[in-house]
Homo-oligomer: A and B are copies of this chain.
Amino acid sequence: MEVTIRDVAVKAQVSFQLVSAVLGNKSYARASAVTREKIEQAARELGYYPNISAQILQGGSSKLIGVMIDSRAPEEAFSLLAELEQAATAHGYRILIAEAHDDPEKLFSAYCALKQNRVDGVISLSHDYPGIDYHLEEKLKTEKKLVFVQNIREHLHSYVDVDMAEGFAMATRHLQKEGYRNIALLLSQRARDIQKCQTIQSRIHGFHSVLPGGNVFYVPGADPGTACRQLIDGEFKEKQIDAVVAQNDYIAAFLQKELLAAGKKLPEDFGLVGCDNRLVCQCMPLELSTITYDRKSVAEKTIEFILKLIVGEDARLAAVFQPQLIVRASSQRKKAISEKLNINQIKGVL
């Protein structure tokens, strides 16, 4: 069925071991130019390509990098995955995905599955599911070739992270400078109950570093629209909130929608900053300001780290990227007031 090294050997009339040495151009391969050519031609004619399983079995590498990801993760995770894929292929590696739900047991079994498939290294991409990776870390104290992306810090393992605390601080300061008086933080409820969630905590921390004791609200991921409406009529009015930094762009977008429907003048009455710089920012009536980072850089650094670990570097590698604030119309109060920009521009809507 399968073309093996032995088939090539008989065709080239040499030992199969020599074929292995030549085709894998090993340092110990000592073959004359003629035999070399004979072998290569035979391989070409037979359409030989090596059996990776056999190679792995005798001690080789799989050239596989395992990625643990929650398939129900936010879109960001997948766009990061795409970048990881790109970076990995650039170095001759492939990505093996393992489902990693928010259950620590499943996460660990995903890890085992990856190891069974002889991946050379593992990347943990599960976002927003706190406690889990911590659990995993407990179990994985001995694992060296593991990189956490955007979810763990100050632990045993290597990681690549984005300083979202700073990102949210930047956004809050920006809203202050634009003249908003009462800025709140709007988070997705999904993560509410979990105190240890790094991604949530850093957002809160960054926000409170600028506005100690500032209001934090939550909307459920399931129906953010109605929740926003209720907030606008209720707590926002009550506490005179006039600007929001949102956990992600979609929450900001839903809020913008409801603010518009409630008759608010934007961005004068209410300022908005989202997070992630998704496409939705640019197609909203008032383009959304947002906190973002360079996904390509993060992915490349992650691959760089895992490759270093694979070749045996015995260190805890860490990198933290600085996020970036993209200022668009949704938070430019001063400009809007001075230029009466949006008032004129959108006046004719209905």
- Majority SS of interface residues in chain A? helix
- Which residues of A in the span 212-255 have a Cβ within 8 Å of any Cβ on B? 224-225, 250, 253-254
**Interface residue? A176 (CB, 8 A):** no
- In the complex, the answer to whether A94 meets B94 with C-beta atoms within 8 Å is no
A253–chain B nearest beta-carbon distance, Å: 4
Chain B residue, CB-CB nearest to A223:
B282
Given contacts A82-B78, A94-B117, A349-B260, contact A253 B72 (CB under 8 A): no
Q: Does A86 contact B (CB under 8 A)?
A: yes
Name, among A99, A112, A347, the residue most crowded by chain B CB atoms within 10 Å (CB to CB).
A99
- Binary contact readout A253-278 vs B (1 if CB under 8 angstroms, 0 otherwise): 11011001111110000000000000
Q: Does A75 count as interface, using CB distance less than 8 angstroms?
A: yes
A307 close to chain B: CB less than 8 A: no
Query: Out of B57, B224, B284, which one reaches A54, CB within 8 Å?
Result: B57
Distance of A115 Cα from B79 Cα, bound (Å): 25
Most buried by B among A85, A97, A115: A97
Does residue A24 face the partner (Cβ distance < 8 Å to B)?
Answer: no
Interfacial chain B residues near A118, Cβ < 8 Å: 51-53
24 A-B residue contacts at CB 8 Å? A52-B116, A52-B117, A52-B118, A71-B82, A71-B85, A72-B82, A78-B82, A85-B97, A86-B99, A94-B98, A94-B117, A95-B96, A95-B97, A225-B282, A250-B279, A254-B282, A257-B284, A257-B285, A263-B348, A264-B349, A265-B350, A280-B280, A284-B284, A343-B350
